[in-house]
Structure 1
């Protein structure tokens, strides 16, 4: 599996994921949430930030099904889904919502091809799941489960 590149701004996201928590960065001054993490608030230009715990619930906003040819680390699991999840938390005052990219799987430690692509639906309710850190080379990538399997 390819591991994410962890930079200074995003390091807390990955540390919280390793602990089984989904958190996103928020401005310490204006309170607006932002993802991906970055050093400066795009709304008020503050450099202050905090990390807010999310419910871990959302809806599939979009998806694709990847087919070969792919990177070798993923080819043996193809075809598999890649979904965009819009988190359930309240929208920002500008109407924006936090969206994360991941995979819909049958259980947290399942292969990427563990959910039949025919089951994918825009708007389907999902919840976050975290694989065991010991089996994830130390970096835990959040995955998604259908709320109603």
Structure 2
């Protein structure tokens, strides 16, 4: 955790606080609209689909697929230098929403679109645990 201290940390808001608490508990939580039955991410005060305020937090499966990605080979700051190269990906979750995160636990060159991934959690500080994704076992060629 100490090597994460200089990284840019998200600042939870009243709307996103349950999401970050879920991450600390190693649960990927998404908002769910009980009016129209859709999940959404990023957290908001109303449903982006139907504008209802009838939102609740539900635990997601943590599974998804890589929609698109890039391999970062030049660190944005010294805090990220030890991480390069790393993958930033747009992940389409099984529940429908997309979220941006890292794909870790594999060679960066093996990441491809439509790769099946699952969430894991990386503690960056006492308050922030980041959701990241790794390939589902058996998805990568040996």
Tell me the TM-score range normalised by the shorter chain. Answer: 0.7 to 0.9
Cα distance in 1 for partners of 2:36, 2:94 equals 20
Aligned length: 132
Alpha-carbon shift at residue 69 of structure 1 (Å): 5.0
Say yes or no: does 1:100 pair with 2:99: yes
- State TM-score, norm by structure 2: 0.83
Match of 1:35 in 2: 41
| Structural RMSD (CA) | 1.7
Match of 1:145 in 2: 134
Cα distance in 1 for partners of 2:37, 2:75 equals 43
C-alpha change, 1:70 and 1:31, in structure 2 (3 Å) is: same
Cα distance in 2 for partners of 1:144, 1:67 equals 19
Match of 2:20 in 1: 14
- State TM-score, norm by structure 1: 0.80
The 3-state SS of whatever aligns with 2:103 is coil
Which protein is richer in strand relative to its size? 2
1:4 aligned residue (7, 10, 32): 10
Cα distance in 1 for partners of 2:90, 2:49 equals 23
Gaps of 5+ in 2: 1-6
Gaps of 5+ in 1: 90-96, 107-114
